[in-house]
Structure 1
Amino acid sequence: MSGQAAAAVSCDVLVVGLGCAGATAAIEAAEAGASVVALERASAPGGSSALSGGELYLGGGTATQQACGFADSAEAMYDFLVAALGPHADEEKLRRYCEGSVEHHDWLVGHGVVFKPSLHDRPTWMPDTDDGLMWLGENAAPFNSLAQPAPRGHRGPAPYYAGKVLMDALVEAAAAAGVETHTDTRAVSLVVEDGRVVGVRARRFGEDVEYRAARGVVLTTGGFVDNEPMLADHAPALLGHGKVSDGLDDGSGIAMALHVGAATRRMHAHEIALTYLPALAVRGLVVDGLGQRFVNEDSYPGIVSHAAVTHRPAPYWVIVDEIGFEDVPERERWGVRPAYAAEDLDELGAELGMPAGALAATVAAYNRDAERGEDTWFRKDPDWLRPLRPPYAAIDVAVGFHPGDRDSAASGNGVAGFTLGGLHTTPDGAVLTWAGEPIPGLYAAGRATSGIHGDGYISGTSLGDGTFFGRAAGRSAAGAVR
């Protein structure tokens, strides 16, 4: 900060960052009667949330699920998520999230979020339709034996990237609730008086501005995938890969909180995504650089991605035959074309640099199971099992894909990701010290925090976690009268 006196802005609750967590925190605080100012360092709100696929993981028997003919329960949702997001998922937060999911769905709908009552029933990262419900691996092994399957991916009415329509609705609801938004404003540090966080120092168009919050500050500034030194220290598995973000997930909110004694949790945790096409993979098989199959291809794509990048040698290939490739409608191929093709698997394996005979042996084992209608290795759904016949093709996942008019999320090697660890918070959003004590006046939510995740990830659990616990943080801050 410069030596000049800073301009001052006062409010009851100050929200730093206006993505999905910030928007819901601001709305709840305002509807609880607090005056709310939201700071956004970009020129418009939305953040990484607006650039996302737009899925919110909701269940327990939402109105959208019921309209599509699916029964569900909070217990089944919890059983699936504790397995899919583990090991070491935050079970206290997860239990609250699942038990409050129906109410959260209705709150979102009541604040302008639209979920069309139709199901997208085909494997994909993001539907090319405006369907409001999709499967996110609940019906694939081993999860279909651990909990009653039900589709829980709720999304706005837009093909591919639906994050913008979600954020448009939430930003509009925040404005209607009376939230005052200051864009192009970068928070620099927290203001602490008598052991309590009472505001932030910020920069806006070259001017120093001090924001004072009578009740509390809520940090919803996103993760730290764009901060290379922080990645090297905490989540090195993401180094060298593409980044799923708006370019501003630099850990600034986490750093500000650390300076006033905050604790972090599970900073190593991350999501990894391979730019492979699920619609093609389920019709064939995914193999590693040694020609070995290692997963059931009808799994949620994030599970396939983690299994590959964290446990198997690169490069990664989708192997299909001509019948399987042609079975996918062109619109759903996202511009993907085979990198290699051959009549003979030994020839194809040699072109891919695999050990002699490895790919042929893998496909032979797969074909034997497919002919019997049972995947004895990985329990792929029998509906997708079919022996592969020549000619064969190999699709290089490093090439990426181009859904809609957006470029591939990957950067050169077909791998992209983001961080899941962050500030240690209570389920109500209070930021904790290393001693486990709440820091008075300081709250946080979204990817700036360690939320419901352990070492696993399912699409929709970032926007779901962020919006749900953003609301909790906003309520807590509004009620914390100094």
Structure 2
Amino acid sequence: MAEASSIRPQSAASIEQWDFEADVVVAGYGIAGVSASIEAARAGADVLVLERTSGWGGAAALAGGFIYLGGGTPLQQALGFEDSPANMKSFMMAALGPGADEEKITDYCEGSVEHYNWLVDNGVPFKESFYGQPGWETPFDDGLMYSGGENSAPFNTIATPAPRGHVPQMSGKRTGEKGGGFMLMKPLIETAESLGVRAEYDMRVQRLVVDGDRVVGIIAKQYGKEVAVRARTGVVLATGSFAYNEAMIQSYAPRLIGRPGAAIEEHDGKAIQMAQALGADLAHMDATEVAFFGDPQLMIRGILVNGRGQRYVNEDTYPGRIGQETLLRNENQAYLIIDEASYEEGCAADSSTPFFRFQPKWVAETVEELESDMGLPEGTLQSTVEVYNRHAARGEDPVLGKKKEWVKPIGSPVAALDLRNFTAGFTLGGLRTSINSEVIHVSGEPIPGLFAAGRCTAGVCAGGYASGTSLGDGSFYGRRAGISAAKG
């Protein structure tokens, strides 16, 4: 963690010369930063982006590209799915809690259709095609998919299911390398450049500059030299999460120790610390999304059991929820119990994550033999499979509510995939912000001149997650940050 002295705010009076100046200075050129830049420029501001790496994109450009949108977007309507802001809110409040910010979620849902149109107007392409198979993301160029377990228990009884994972159309996608997120970022960057947004690269932000209680700039290091950057109307922090700051993980989200993932190493929490040094409030710092390294096409055809041989989650839900349930509530212990026919069927299905299709570790003719080979307490797995099969024979799963289409008795031969410790994650907590993306002081008042968006903030997610909420609220509240910063 950075030394306290290195992140303390610096007085503007101590700066003899500004190396760069702009009306709005944005730290970070990922999804939140580019969205802020576009709206600030359209509001008439001169905008300068400070990017730590040698190019734009951040974690967004490597992401699968889901943007969580709903409420009746043109894409939803074109594909025959009905949705409303109220229905979307019902799901988000249930799935993204406990502690979800109702004001922010209400605001996000009510503005979702307009935000979709904004993305399209700025060149982001969406194909009118729905991908209805289980998966972390679509392996094709489809534009819409369920991305949060909306059509699975318990959420399908809380709100009318509607797919809200909107994916920019892109060919030649490579998961984790050049995903749909690249096709989200590219047109937005081109829009920002056309509006005159400037960018300086290899800029490592160090601390904020203040004039009294107002933020008026940033001190950064560029190519090892310290530079002062003046912001005439506002500073926007958009530098990502703290997933790769080991000391912060130990302090706030210890269940992720040694398990960073779905983020980039530049996500070091520096912006959070800089704002904390000014008295910024934080929220949901222990909240984490958890990736589970299992292929959904296999998981959905079997049953997941913990170290006690018990089922603990419906296998047809959002894989990120499976990850959370595994790591946070079941000691990271998971086995997939599946019969030979279902395993072969799952391996033959289309998938964006075929590299998560692992060979079984144990294979047996009976569940009793499998249980013994796995070293599970005697009778535990047998009881679990017996109860599951009894109800599955009628196409039912009254224990966890897996959808009928995926409920099938487990036959013989039967196998177990060893999925223990197959998780990684990223942080969801950060700076507390208003719906206008103002950074909130611990007193409850906005810090003048300071705004933030993206994963360095506590956005619409609290305890839970749905794929697309990071790119969704990052771009949505990035826009708000840009507008607010341009006003001053």
TM range (shorter): over 0.9
**Match runs of 1:344-355 below 5 Å:** 344-355=366-377
1:130 equivalenced with 2:150 (yes/no): no
Which runs of 4 or more aligned residues in structure 1 lie more than 4 Å from their structure 2 counterparts after TM superposition? 3-7
1:171 equivalenced with 2:182 (yes/no): no
Cα distance between partner residues in 1 of 2:33 and 2:363:
49
Correspondence for 1:83 among 90, 94, 104: 94
Shift of 1:437: 0.9
The letter for the 2-side match of 1:149 is P
**Match runs of 1:51-90 below 5 Å:** 51-90=62-101
Matched with 2:243 is 225
**Match runs of 1:225-304 below 5 Å:** 225-304=243-322
For the residue of structure 2 that corresponds to 1:242, the secondary structure is coil
Matched with 1:371 is 393
Shift of 1:256: 0.8
Cα distance between partner residues in 2 of 1:75 and 1:331:
34
CA deviation digits over 1:333-362, x for unaligned, max 9?
603132222212122222222112221221
The letter for the 2-side match of 1:455 is G
Aligned residues of 1:6 and 1:207 also touching (Cα < 8 A): no
Correspondence for 2:213 among 175, 185, 195: 195
TM score, norm. by length of structure 1: 0.94
Matched with 1:23 is 34
The letter for the 1-side match of 2:243 is V
Which one is further off, 111-120 or 261-270? 261-270
1:36 equivalenced with 2:25 (yes/no): no
1:50 equivalenced with 2:61 (yes/no): yes
Matched with 1:334 is 354
What is the number of equivalent residue pairs in this alignment? Answer: 466
Matched with 1:479 is 487
The letter for the 2-side match of 1:359 is L
For the residue of structure 1 that corresponds to 2:481, the secondary structure is helix
Cα distance between partner residues in 2 of 1:138 and 1:36:
39
Aligned residues of 2:455 and 2:470 also touching (Cα < 8 A): yes
Cα distance between partner residues in 1 of 2:412 and 2:260:
34
Matched with 2:465 is 457
Aligned residues of 2:453 and 2:481 also touching (Cα < 8 A): yes
Specify whether residues 4 and 266 from structure 1 end up closer, same or farther in structure 2 by C-alpha distance, changes over 3 A only.
closer
1:431 equivalenced with 2:439 (yes/no): yes
Matched with 1:397 is 419
Specify whether residues 314 and 267 from structure 1 end up closer, same or farther in structure 2 by C-alpha distance, changes over 3 A only.
closer
Correspondence for 1:150 among 156, 162, 177: 162
Aligned residues of 1:7 and 1:208 also touching (Cα < 8 A): no
For the residue of structure 2 that corresponds to 1:144, the secondary structure is helix
Q: CA RMSD in A?
A: 1.7
The letter for the 1-side match of 2:92 is L
Shift of 1:330: 5.4
Specify whether residues 183 and 462 from structure 1 end up closer, same or farther in structure 2 by C-alpha distance, changes over 3 A only.
same
Cα distance between partner residues in 2 of 1:476 and 1:302:
33
Matched with 2:204 is 186
Cα distance between partner residues in 2 of 1:314 and 1:361:
22
Aligned residues of 2:332 and 2:423 also touching (Cα < 8 A): no
Identical counterparts, % of pairs? 48
CA deviation digits over 1:256-313, x for unaligned, max 9?
1111221111211111121111111111111111111011111111112212211114
The letter for the 2-side match of 1:100 is G
Aligned residues of 1:135 and 1:153 also touching (Cα < 8 A): yes
Shift of 1:217: 0.2
Aligned residues of 2:20 and 2:230 also touching (Cα < 8 A): yes
Aligned residues of 1:6 and 1:208 also touching (Cα < 8 A): no
Gaps of 5+ in 2: 1-5, 7-13
The letter for the 2-side match of 1:434 is V
Cα distance between partner residues in 1 of 2:136 and 2:42:
35
Cα distance between partner residues in 1 of 2:220 and 2:154:
49
Matched with 2:152 is 140
For the residue of structure 2 that corresponds to 1:297, the secondary structure is coil
The letter for the 2-side match of 1:18 is Y
Matched with 1:100 is 111
Matched with 1:406 is none
Specify whether residues 251 and 52 from structure 1 end up closer, same or farther in structure 2 by C-alpha distance, changes over 3 A only.
same
Aligned residues of 1:241 and 1:415 also touching (Cα < 8 A): yes
Shift of 1:5: 6.5
The letter for the 2-side match of 1:248 is E
For the residue of structure 1 that corresponds to 2:19, the secondary structure is strand
The letter for the 2-side match of 1:361 is S
CA deviation digits over 1:11-58, x for unaligned, max 9?
110000111111100111011110100111011111111121211110
Matched with 1:120 is 131
Shift of 1:395: 1.8
Shift of 1:6: 5.8
Aligned residues of 2:326 and 2:333 also touching (Cα < 8 A): no
1:444 equivalenced with 2:456 (yes/no): no
The letter for the 2-side match of 1:58 is L
CA deviation digits over 1:157-189, x for unaligned, max 9?
234432222122222221122110111111111
TM score, norm. by length of structure 2: 0.92
Shift of 1:145: 1.1
For the residue of structure 2 that corresponds to 1:243, the secondary structure is coil
Cα distance between partner residues in 2 of 1:299 and 1:155:
19
Shift of 1:7: 5.4
